[in-house]
Structure 1
Amino acid sequence: MLAELRGLNEECGVFGIWGHEDAAQISYYALHALQHRGQEGAGIVVTNGEGFQVIKDEGLVNEVFAGNRLNDLKGHGGIAQVRYSSENGRGIENVQPLLFRSTTGSISLAHNGNIVNAVELREHLERQGSIFQTNSDTEVLAHLIKRSSGSLTQRDRVKKALSMLKGAFAFVMLTEDSLMIAQDPNGLRPLSLGKLGDAWVVASETCAFDIIGAEHVRSVEPGELIIINNKGIHSERFAPAADSAMCSMEYVYFARPDSDIDGINIHMARKRCGKRLAREVKIDADVVTGVPDSSISAAIGFSEESGIPYELGLIKNRYVGRTFIEPSQELREKGVKMKLSPVRQVVNGKRVVMVDDSIVRGTTSKRIVTLLKEAGATEVHVVIASPPLVSPCFYGVDISTDSELIATNRSIDEIRELIGADSLTFLSPEAMLESIGRPDTTKNCGQCLACFTGEYPTDIYSDTALPHEKERVR
């Protein structure tokens, strides 16, 4: 569904490279491939071994690096990020990568995820004299590294600092002599390692490797710290690997269909979810359509399995996006018409199966059902290629309260009535896991199901839990 309208957003996408003289240009192309992960800010930091150069700003990648700005970035190593920000994280000061200059060694960091004990650590650091320049939890790691014992090596300071973090984090870190990569012990956020000639690259999604011509080597392992420098690549652990818990919403919505996560192709996983839905529910209908773009794969799978023809019943306007501000409530209700248009000739007089990836608040689903019926659809049957979202996410997905979620404390039939559908079907957690095809190595088959079940793979600290959720804090 449309992230801009439904309020479901992922924190960001990160990229890193070491050992290539065109590090900035390659990072720029990689950020374009990751643009879907964040549209509010972008930045690149590079080093030539004798200092850092940085360009970052609010806006899309092609806006931030318009003209010849990339020509100012010279270096063989770099890190980059595209960013989505929450309400309290906006502003140029929070755009990453963050750069911290010091006479004892400068460092730049970029991050995907959310550190659930960030407030606790921040308060502790401030009591010790640290002064923070941003609202980003990424800055916590920089202060932890700098305040570690001076007798430790840089590698050990980084390991010690990382071991203090709880939650979801995929870090890329750049010093003048190395690129460092770290994945949280549960592997909650995707992070992949690749090779581009003699250079090493790392990215939130493998689609970034395709655009730059890199070879995907492997996923970064939970609890792993990788250090890449002119001597080569070195891997070790900063923490033991916990139960693997990759975010399920990466497979359902966030990742691009051409990306692979842990060897599983996103398009094929979504297609299998659609096929499973078609086996679980029998609907007499004339046409299947998907809500662009993340639901198209599941819609194709539903069509193939059910035998109901797939059609483009909804068309996305790709030129609205960021320019659509939040005006009056009356105009906001018209927002879906700016983003989506029904194809009247496809749906008029037809019984329509509308396939979507998820339902968050339900307001957009209601508007789309209304659009289809106004275009002449006689019935609209909504099928969702994931389970109902019933719990907030504390790991970097912008679902912060129970009250935002239509499925919390409502039955399926109550949700169906609210969105105006003729029928409503969700995929069960078990069917979703089986369809995606994650290895059955843990009780959750290697995926985080917290937003579907309320069972969190890590401790949830008091600074992240909301008042009515304190009983869930472990």
Structure 2
Amino acid sequence: MKKAVFPLEEDKPREECGVFGIYAPGEDVARHTYYGLCALQHRGQESAGIAVANGHEIKIHKNMGLVTEVFAEDIFKQLKGNLAIGHVRYSTTGESSIANAQPLISPYNSGSIALAHNGHLVDAVVVRSGLLKKGLTLQTTSDSEVLLKFIASFSSISLPDALKKCMAKLRGAYSLVVMTEKQLIGMRDRRGMRPLCLGRFGKGYVLASETCALDSIGAEFIRDIKPGEIVCIDENGLNSLQVTPACHRSLCIFEYIYLARPDSIIDGEQVKTVRLALGRQLARECPTHADVVVPVPDSGKLAALGYATALGTPLQEGLKKNLWVGRNFIQPTQILREKTIKLKFRPVKEVVQSKSVALVDDSLVRGTTGRQIVKMLRDAGVKEVHLLVSSPPIRYPCYFGIDISDRKQLLAARYSLEEIKSYIGVDSLHYLSLENVLQVMQAPAEEFCLACFNGEYPIEIAALGKCYKII
């Protein structure tokens, strides 16, 4: 096997962003949005922004950085109103720059609209070309601005009607929160690929990517927004529009495996419960005689707990994660990039020395971090390392908002199981089968987007020049 060369970055799929919206006259909507975005910070750490409307105008503050870095007390004094939307971003399309930070704003009728978007349009290039031919100017490189300008191109009609037209024409994954000076709107694509939920807050309402954001402000969960649904919230209350005929949902399975917070409920399923069940299923499918089960922190903790409980094997913290080595750690050379991983993870020698270790993680994308972790365990005196992954091999790219778009970076797309085992440096390697993932979910394959595992895409991606099977 040729030595694989991958960027030494955290070996996880990364979500593009998280969205939050609130309609609550009389409340400090900007501050509530801030708390909601803090709860969604795991969905994007590059930029954050909040837009607030007071019935007459929309004001926006956004910048690069974490939510706590972007907003200070003096900012909230300037963001007063009755409704707000917010966004945290990790760029999978478009540059990592302030120009691409959201919410984005555009003129609409005699006022304005602001938009926050989670997902990715597969036909963004085609739509962008059409907008440019119409003479419209695009200021950013993100598909979210393409979406905003496309909506704004229907400004002669009401915003809900414009969104209905957009849903009929656009292809891709999108959960949106959109607002005018007086109205908050939530919209989920016809396949429901990205999550969006609805909550009640006093006499108002909240929209969010995950229920953990509702919990952060004390809002009461009502339900998930349905695939193909638009909800409009204003002084007249809440109005639901089911735009597209009911079709099977294709929610991204990685919401349950890795992306969502464990305390969130996504489309009726508690994320923590699913991850524990995946670990138990992994134990049934591939039991080991290891002395100790060690999770890869923090992503493998729940699967490792399920695995250890099912086998009756001790679960111990054999790896410590340094929470203070974050996204801004400077990595100017290859040597320092390798040292970064050593600073992020350190083995607990007393736990692993002379032991056979079942190392459990939820996914394996590029293999770079896993390889370094195994080397550190070997250096700490481990006897054997058996790597158990609570998801199937990732062999195909994602075009719907997850940062695994380059197949050349996917270890399982290029190498056999034996070659991957050799590259990572483990004594054995086992991925949970797709069949057993679906058994845990107790739902048919058609209910989820599983394309990164099996190459079967729920939305046609011919515009990208790709030739994969479409379900």
The amino acid that maps onto 1:370 is K
TM-fit CA distance, 1:239: 2.4
Identify if the C-alpha distance between structure 1 residues 302 and 14 changes in structure 2 by more than 3 Å, giving closer, same or farther: same
The amino acid that maps onto 2:269 is I
Distance 1:369 1:210 in 2: 37
Task: Summarize deviations over 1:292-334 as a string: whole Å, max 9, x none.
Answer: 1121000000000011100011111111112223321122122
Which of 118, 121, 127 is residue 115 of structure 1 equivalent to? 121
TM-fit CA distance, 1:349: 1.0
Percent of residue pairs identical = 47
1:64-463 pair list within 5 angstroms? 64-86=70-92, 88-102=94-108, 104-148=110-154, 150=156, 152-437=157-442, 439-440=443-444, 444-462=445-463
TM-fit CA distance, 1:101: 3.3
> For the aligned residues, what is the CA RMSD?
1.8
1:12 aligns with 2:13: no
The amino acid that maps onto 1:9 is R
Identify if the C-alpha distance between structure 1 residues 39 and 149 changes in structure 2 by more than 3 Å, giving closer, same or farther: closer
Distance 2:104 2:229 in 1: 22
Distance 1:461 1:81 in 2: 30
Task: Summarize deviations over 1:315-368 as a string: whole Å, max 9, x none.
Answer: 111111122233211221222111111111111111100000111111111111
Aligned residues, how many? 464
Answer whether contact 2:92 2:401 (CA < 8 A) is retained. Answer: no
Distance 1:115 1:3 in 2: 28
Deviates more, 1:2-11 or 1:213-222: 2-11
Identify if the C-alpha distance between structure 1 residues 130 and 241 changes in structure 2 by more than 3 Å, giving closer, same or farther: farther
Q: Unaligned stretches of 5+ in structure 2?
A: 1-6
Distance 2:160 2:31 in 1: 28
1:30-69 pair list within 5 angstroms? 30-69=36-75
TM-fit CA distance, 1:241: 3.5
Answer whether contact 2:86 2:103 (CA < 8 A) is retained. Answer: yes
Distance 2:274 2:470 in 1: 32
SS at match of 2:77: helix
Deviates more, 1:383-392 or 1:102-111: 102-111
Task: Summarize deviations over 1:154-173 as a string: whole Å, max 9, x none.
Answer: 32122112322111100000
Distance 1:473 1:460 in 2: 8
Distance 2:328 2:122 in 1: 32
Distance 2:36 2:8 in 1: 21
Distance 1:325 1:67 in 2: 29
Distance 2:235 2:181 in 1: 11
TM-fit CA distance, 1:410: 2.4
The amino acid that maps onto 1:8 is P
TM-score when normalising by structure 2: 0.95
Answer whether contact 2:22 2:205 (CA < 8 A) is retained. Answer: yes
The amino acid that maps onto 2:222 is V
TM-fit CA distance, 1:262: 1.1
Distance 1:176 1:365 in 2: 48
Task: Summarize deviations over 1:184-242 as a string: whole Å, max 9, x none.
Answer: 11100111111111110011011111111111111110000110110010111232333
SS at match of 1:108: strand
The amino acid that maps onto 2:459 is T
Identify if the C-alpha distance between structure 1 residues 214 and 130 changes in structure 2 by more than 3 Å, giving closer, same or farther: same
Answer whether contact 1:3 1:9 (CA < 8 A) is retained. Answer: no
